[in-house]
Amino acid sequence: MSRRLKIVVLGLSLSSSWGNGHATTYRSLLKALAARGHEILFLERNVPWYAENRDLTNPDYCWLAFYEDLAGLERWRREVASADAVIVGSFTPEGVAVGRWAMEAASGPVAFYDIDTPVTLGKLFRGDVEYLAPEQVAQYDLYLSFTGGPTLTRLERDYGSPAARALYCSADAEIYQPTGAARRWDLSYLGTYSPDRQPVLDRLLLQAARAAPELNFCVAGPQYPRDIEWPANVERLEHVAPADHPDFYSASRFTLNVTRADMVAAGYAPSVRLFEAGACGCPIISDVWTGLDTLFRPEEEIVLAETAEDTLAALRAGDDVRAGLAEGARRRVLDAHTSHHRAETLETELLAAIERRAGRPASAAASQTPVSTSETLTTMKKKQQRVLVAGGAGFLGSHLCDRLLSEGAQVVCLDNLQTGSLDNLERALAHPDFEFVKADIVDPLPSRLPRRRFDRIYNLACAASPPLYQADPEHTLLTSVVGTRHLLQLAETCGARFLLASTCEIYGDPEVHPQPETYWGNVNSTGPRACYDEGKRCAETLSFDFDRAGRGEVRVARIFNTYGPRLSAADGRVVSNLVSQALAEADITVFGDGSQTRSFCYVDDLVGGLIALMEHDGPQPGPVNLGNPTELTVRELVEVILAITGSESEVVFRPLPVDDPKRRRPDISKAADVLGWKPTTPLEQGLKATIAWFDSLPAKPAEAEDSAALSA
């Protein structure tokens, strides 16, 4: 053992093995962990069924304690806080809340131990959050799974687990060994009835029994329907107690392994009977599924069967073949599949998680980063920046995530998916250094974030399209104020530099043109845009107060109208509306007479500006305008879009929204002086890329119409 660990486990049950396979799993694993010198506290919810059927109350390898409810867990907070690692098991009662509590209370890594991975994934898919919420997969430091192989990739890639590792079931070699029991059956099977396994059991055992009346068979386990016609040479045992399993396997010339359908589908999901029977020196005939050959060598350590004939061929092979299989299986289990091997794996994974928590070594991801010439990028790669992007599933945020990843950063995206979408993150989600956390920044941040060490926090979380941010103005305001405060506090806690995506809207309907950062603005604090404008103004205030008070290093970008691929067609902003309408040959909606002006910046330029501002190391530069100063009227924009698309859409005029600014154009001299930044993409080029992207989407003319109506 490299280090004595204090481990707290919150699981379904250790005290009762009645009607669950968890208790025996925990018992052998924890016993083996204790034998390696680790100190373990097992916390079990005191539920009536297990309380009435306890077959273990005072284990000598760990401390077992009961709690009544979530409030009762508080008593154990100090133990959890001082533990080196915490493990929460699948099917723990109120597991979602218990997991959250553990993450909030723990100071070390918190792992999820899934004894039921295929079941869990089915639940997540159906939206059933009995013991694990989808976002928690990304929040647990480690996902230990009874199922290995591609399922682990799925947990990491699709659900954002930072580390999904196989921790298979195993056999306790002290309990499972040949007992010398007299031979009773040529082939046995031990398992509870399950409809999905029955056809395989029928084919591999019952059909073989019918074809070989001279051989003896046994099917042991509860819940088999009464109407099954058992051949005369098949003995039925309703129950074999765990303590009698070694005798059961020792009394079998061969035993059969049949795997549940969801485990077959997932692959790499061994049943515990494989290891227990193997450890007892009982040769195994198994159904066939992907990954089995990584656990036992076919023909030398296990027999694979697809038909009754395969079964009978194995049963009729010579004694020397049988003895070779028995020895091969037992040797393999003792070499690789005992609870001591699992304890060793668990220890290694927990130590790695502890190390990751303390700060990932710079070499870890360096090999995955692409070559870049930019100085900023080189710096980022050198440091392997850990970056949080709030609002990262939105239009701008998703481009920012992609750029940061391509520059070698580790990126966590936090988003409530209110106006953003996981579709925007398709590329990012496939990247090993990316993690998605679904959360609303108005709520207290997911408890494990404050324990992460970010170097940079970008706050882009806020609906930006007028019809969308006006749909729930209170939430919009709270997002900018309360949400920004939460993120600033997080930045303070972990010493991250913080960038606020503010907006040109803080200038309101400007009386100064173009707008420099020194202009204080002209905002109607009671109008329908105020939830956004005043929210952002307040967010700026909070940010600069944090900076002034020395609580964090802050950057504020005042972003002007930006456009590009991934603008949602349902967004309601002018570029998405006009492009969608033009492509659909639908009416082009111009609000007012179209003489109001805007200045449009292409998204790639803007993202470059955000990173340049974030990475600016000098003294506090104050707010910095980021935008493209090329100004045009909405009517002119319509003309450009119609020309590029060749659309013959009619222009229709709709009422101008309340407080719609008449003119807008950034003065970007500060960005040029301080950051050396200016946009380089001409409008026509950017619009062509945007139009091509919209054109590649499935046509949804109704959506564009709907959002235009909403906007008006």
**Residues acting as catalytic residues:** 532
Interacting residue with ligand UDP among 252, 424, 561, 645 (CB under 6 A): 561
Alpha carbon 618 to chain centroid, angstroms: 36
Q: Is 645 in the site for ligand NAD (CB under 6 A)?
A: no
Long-range CB pairs of 353-361 (<8 Å, 24+ gap) are 353/85, 353/109, 353/111, 353/141, 353/142, 353/163, 354/84, 354/85, 354/108, 354/109, 356/109, 356/141, 356/162, 356/163, 357/108, 357/109, 357/141, 357/451, 359/453, 360/384, 360/386, 360/410
Specify the pairing of strand 456-459 against strand 63-67. unpaired
User: Residues touching ligand UDP: how many (CB under 6 A)?
Assistant: 16
**Residue with smaller CB distance to ligand UDP, 410 or 690:** 690
**Residue with smaller CB distance to ligand UDP, 645 or 711:** 711
**Mask: binding to ligand UDP, 345-384, rule CB under 6 A, as x and -?**
----------------------------------------
Interacting residue with ligand UDP among 253, 341, 403, 573 (CB under 6 A): 573
**Residue with smaller CB distance to ligand NAD, 324 or 527:** 527
Part in contact with ligand UDP (CB under 6 A); list of ranges 48-56, 370-378, 587-595, 609-617: 587-595
Q: Is 28 in the site for ligand UDP (CB under 6 A)?
A: no
Q: Is 597 in the site for ligand NAD (CB under 6 A)?
A: no
- Report how far residue 167's alpha carbon sits from residue 29's, in angstroms, rounded to the nearest whole number: 10
**Residue with smaller CB distance to ligand UDP, 314 or 641:** 641
Q: Is 475 in the site for ligand UDP (CB under 6 A)?
A: no
Beta strands in 350-464 (DSSP E): 386-390, 410-415, 434-438, 456-459
- Report how far residue 284's alpha carbon sits from residue 176's, in angstroms, rounded to the nearest whole number: 15
Q: Is 681 in the site for ligand UDP (CB under 6 A)?
A: no
List binders of ligand NAD among 16-55 (CB under 6 A): none
**Residue with smaller CB distance to ligand NAD, 131 or 560:** 560
Q: Is 289 in the site for ligand UDP (CB under 6 A)?
A: no
- Report how far residue 115's alpha carbon sits from residue 20's, in angstroms, rounded to the nearest whole number: 11
Residues in the chain, overall count:
712
Q: Which residues, 6 or more positions from 203, have their beta carbon under 8 angstroms from its beta carbon?
A: 307, 308
Q: Which residues, 6 or more positions from 305, have their beta carbon under 8 angstroms from its beta carbon?
A: 204, 285, 286, 287, 288, 311, 314
List binders of ligand NAD among 448-477 (CB under 6 A): 460-464
Choose the one of ligand UDP, ligand NAD, none that binds residue 634, judging by a C-beta under 5 to 8 angstroms depending on kind.
ligand UDP
Q: Is 553 in the site for ligand UDP (CB under 6 A)?
A: no
Q: Is 683 in the site for ligand NAD (CB under 6 A)?
A: no
Beta-bridge partner residues of 641: none
Interacting residue with ligand UDP among 279, 284, 388, 574 (CB under 6 A): 574
Choose the one of ligand UDP, ligand NAD, none that binds residue 176, judging by a C-beta under 5 to 8 angstroms depending on kind.
none
- Report how far residue 127's alpha carbon sits from residue 125's, in angstroms, rounded to the nearest whole number: 6
Q: Is 598 in the site for ligand UDP (CB under 6 A)?
A: yes
Structure tokens at 276: 């227990």
CA distances to 35, 232, 339 from 172, rounded to whole Å, are: 12, 34, 5
Interacting residue with ligand UDP among 271, 311, 589, 681 (CB under 6 A): 589
Beta-bridge partner residues of 447: none
Choose the one of ligand UDP, ligand NAD, none that binds residue 428, judging by a C-beta under 5 to 8 angstroms depending on kind.
none
Task: Enter the DSSP assignment of 644.
Answer: H
**Residue with smaller CB distance to ligand UDP, 169 or 590:** 590
Choose the one of ligand NAD, ligand UDP, none that binds residue 369, judging by a C-beta under 5 to 8 angstroms depending on kind.
none
Q: Is 535 in the site for ligand UDP (CB under 6 A)?
A: no
Interacting residue with ligand NAD among 170, 479, 681, 711 (CB under 6 A): 479
Q: Are 50 and 18 in contact (CB under 8 A)?
A: yes
> Other CB atoms closer than 10 Å to residue 423's CB: what's the count?
11
Q: Is 285 in the site for ligand NAD (CB under 6 A)?
A: no
CB of residue 543 vs ligand UDP: minimum separation in angstroms?
21
- Report how far residue 239's alpha carbon sits from residue 252's, in angstroms, rounded to the nearest whole number: 16
Q: Is 90 in the site for ligand NAD (CB under 6 A)?
A: no
**Residue with smaller CB distance to ligand NAD, 30 or 554:** 554
CB of residue 504 vs ligand NAD: minimum separation in angstroms?
6
CB of residue 117 vs ligand NAD: minimum separation in angstroms?
29
Nearest C-alpha neighbor of 281 from the set 320, 254, 300: 254
Structure tokens at 428: 């990012």
Q: Is 561 in the site for ligand NAD (CB under 6 A)?
A: yes
**Residue with smaller CB distance to ligand NAD, 24 or 568:** 568
> Other CB atoms closer than 10 Å to residue 684's CB: what's the count?
10
CB of residue 500 vs ligand NAD: minimum separation in angstroms?
8
**Residue with smaller CB distance to ligand UDP, 108 or 666:** 666
- Report how far residue 99's alpha carbon sits from residue 266's, in angstroms, rounded to the nearest whole number: 25
Interacting residue with ligand UDP among 95, 160, 162, 466 (CB under 6 A): 466
**Residue with smaller CB distance to ligand NAD, 108 or 420:** 420
Element containing residue 532 per DSSP (H, E): helix 530-548
Q: Are 132 and 113 in contact (CB under 8 A)?
A: no
CB of residue 136 vs ligand NAD: minimum separation in angstroms?
17
Choose the one of ligand NAD, ligand UDP, none that binds residue 440, judging by a C-beta under 5 to 8 angstroms depending on kind.
ligand NAD
Q: Are 14 and 44 in contact (CB under 8 A)?
A: yes
Q: Are 554 and 705 in contact (CB under 8 A)?
A: no
Q: Is 234 helix (H, G, I), strand (E, B) or coil?
A: strand
Interacting residue with ligand NAD among 142, 329, 428, 559 (CB under 6 A): 559
Whose structure tokens read 């009645």?
18
**Mask: binding to ligand NAD, 382-421, rule CB under 6 A, as x and -?**
---------x-xxxxx-----------------xxxxxx-
Q: Are 382 and 402 in contact (CB under 8 A)?
A: no
CB of residue 609 vs ligand UDP: minimum separation in angstroms?
18
- Report how far residue 48's alpha carbon sits from residue 281's, in angstroms, rounded to the nearest whole number: 38
- Report how far residue 404's alpha carbon sits from residue 612's, in angstroms, rounded to the nearest whole number: 12
Choose the one of ligand UDP, ligand NAD, none that binds residue 660, judging by a C-beta under 5 to 8 angstroms depending on kind.
ligand UDP
CB of residue 560 vs ligand NAD: minimum separation in angstroms?
6
- Report how far residue 581's alpha carbon sits from residue 48's, in angstroms, rounded to the nearest whole number: 62
Beta-bridge partner residues of 39: 6
Q: How far does the chain reach from its first CA to its final CA, in angstroms?
A: 68
**Residue with smaller CB distance to ligand UDP, 283 or 466:** 466
Q: Are 397 and 459 in contact (CB under 8 A)?
A: no
For ligand NAD, the binding residues (CB under 6 A) are 391, 393-397, 415-420, 440-442, 460-464, 479, 483, 501, 503, 559, 561-562
For ligand UDP, the binding residues (CB under 6 A) are 465-466, 561, 573-574, 577, 589-591, 596, 598, 634, 657, 660, 708, 711
